[in-house]
Structure formats: structure tokens, C-alpha cells
Chain A
Amino acid sequence: MVIVSPEVARDLDRTCVKVLGQAEAVKHTNNGRIDLTYTGAAATGPRAFAEAGVGPKDVDYVSIYDSFTITVVETLEDLGFCEKGAGGRFVLDGTLVAPHGKLPFNTDGGGLCNNHPSNRGGMTKVIEAVRQLRGEAHLAVQVPDCQVALAHGTGGSIATRMGSATLILGTEDT
């Protein structure tokens, strides 16, 4: 991944994407008062959206680290794509299916089908989000007119201590 200033980006002959907002946080066991019902995304989501000046409804595509089913469901809730506790219902009926679901998700196949283990989950999430914004995802799953994408990584263990990072990206026109 190469990050350059807007001045350098102008001279590149490759389609670029913009960093609109980002945030990082750690969550820990809080002196024996761990709460398993939320993740670090509850802290990073609002901050990243505020910096980007967009909200969950503006997101056309998401890459979310998917170590376990519960990781994705909790993260979707914490990022504000649905109400807390409603994640299970939210993903029913094809919500996450690309390209025409309400919130197309992990179109690289995700960790289980494509890139985990042997790759770092966070980086692969960013790569596919960039592909979607460039229109370079696989034809079967390319989201039409994809303008805003979100990538979210979770590290450590959601049962004890974790690090969370949210990155919101947009096309050059955003």
C-alpha cells in the first residue's frame, strides 16, 4: 500500500482513492469488568465517521475482519449499520451479498474463503475496499457506482483484549 499527498497523486497514471477518515482504539478487560457485547469498533466507528463527514448510510461497500461470525455481527452493530442487538436480523435475507445487497461485504471472499491465515486480516480488508472504489473487483461482485467504502480490522482477542481500526475511503470524486 502506498500513501501519497494529493499533489503527488495528481501526477500518477493510476486511479487513486482518498482517505476520508480513520480511527484506532484498544479495548481491554477493564479490571475484571469485561463486557463481551461490544468491540473496539464502538469507539472507532463514530470517530472515523465524524472525520470523514459521512455516516453508515453513505457506505457502499464494507470490508470487516471476520475471524468468527460473532466478530462481524458485533462489528456491524458497533459501526452503526444497525441497532445494537439487531445484527443477526440485519444480515438475514442477503443484506451482505454483493453486488446488490443493502451492504455488500468482503467481496474477496473474506478470511475463510480467501486470505486468512497466512495474511494479516486488516491489510487484506483495505486492499479489497480499494479494489471496489477503483472498480477493479471481480465482475460478479463489483458494486455499481461504489463511492464510499469502509474497512475495519480487529486484532488480539474479542474475548479479552483487542485492537480495532476503522478506515473510511472514498473515490477521487468524494
Chain B
Amino acid sequence: MTPPLPAPAPARTPETDEFWAATSTGRLLLARCAQCTAVIWYPRALCPDCGSTSVTWIEASGLGTVYSFTVVHRGTGPYRDAAPYVVAYVELAEGPRVLTNLIGCAPDQVQIGQRVRVVFCDTGEGSSLYRFEPAEDPSQ
């Protein structure tokens, strides 16, 4: 049995403090440009599409699909004993492709296009890491 993935606390900056604070209450926030309406990823105070600094937070649905993934068989640092584990790009329903981990699923069961939902892994330091797990398929 593989131990759960470690959840090291992220570095917080003034730009991302509200984002990380929300994760500790189970919410995934996305920055959105008030000027051109682009959803911004990664979170920041400036729209990379149009340059506007008028940025607001919206709450993501937490739903998405697997855009691509890889299975790590030899972790390093805090992930040393965690392999095998899955590193994936999840395409959120709101658009951005987010680099993350898939958990709650055997690595050899992951598929591109698979529907997933966000889960939060507590770092113990006032934040949680956003990861994803398989979502129920409503067609089944």
C-alpha cells in the first residue's frame, strides 16, 4: 500500500494569499480579468492576456477533465516514498489547464479525458493543496 502523497505547504505571496486561504476552507479560486474576462492561471494580480490590473476572484466549480498525465515511479525530496503517483494537467471547466496530482485512483486506471473533481489536502499550515480525484460519470 502506497502512503498518501505528502502535502508540503506552498510559499505564499501577497498576490496569492487569498487563493491559499480559500483552499483551507475547501474552495478553489480563480482570478478573472475584469477588463477582458479572461480566466487567469496561475493566480496573479495582472492579466497576462491584456495587461489589466483589474482582477477579481471567482470560485471554480472544481470540475474538470484530464488533459494529460504521467506516472512518477521514483519521487524525490518529500515525495521520495510516495511513488507511484500521478502528475497531471487537469483542464478545469472554466478553461485553465492546471498542473496537479490525481489521487484516489490507481495510476494505471487514469485516462486522458477522464472526468475529475477537486479535493483538498491539508498542509497543516493554514492552506491545502488542490488535487483531483475521479468524478462520477453522470451517464452511467
Q: How far is the CB of B32 from chain A (nearest CB, A)?
A: 11
Known contacts A36-B68, A160-B99, A31 near B41 by CB under 8 Å: yes
**A21-51 contact mask (Cβ, 8 Å, vs B): 1 or 0:** 0000000010111101000000000000000
Contacts of B67 in A (CB 8 A): 36
Distance A32 CA – B39 CA, assembled complex (angstroms): 8
Interface size class of B (residues with CB under 8 A): 10 to 19
Contacts of A33 in B (CB 8 A): 95-97
B38, B40, B97: the one within 8 Å of A34 (CB): B97
Interface, chain A (partner B; CB < 8 A):
29, 31-34, 36, 159-160
Contacts of B68 in A (CB 8 A): 36
Does B89 touch A at the CB level, under 8 Å?
A: yes
Of A29, A36, A159, most B-chain CB atoms within 10 Å: A29
Contacts of A34 in B (CB 8 A): 89, 97
In chain B between 26 and 47, which residues have their CB closer than 8 angstroms to a CB of chain A? 38-42
Contact, CB under 8 Å: A31 / B49? yes
Q: How far is the CB of A44 from chain B (nearest CB, A)?
A: 22
Q: How far is the CB of B130 from chain A (nearest CB, A)?
A: 14
Contacts of B95 in A (CB 8 A): 32-33
Offer 10 A-B interface pairs, CB within 8 angstroms, sorted by A.
A29-B42, A31-B38, A31-B48, A32-B40, A32-B96, A33-B95, A33-B96, A34-B97, A36-B67, A160-B99
Kindly report which residue of chain A lies nearest to residue B91, judged by CB atoms. Answer: A32
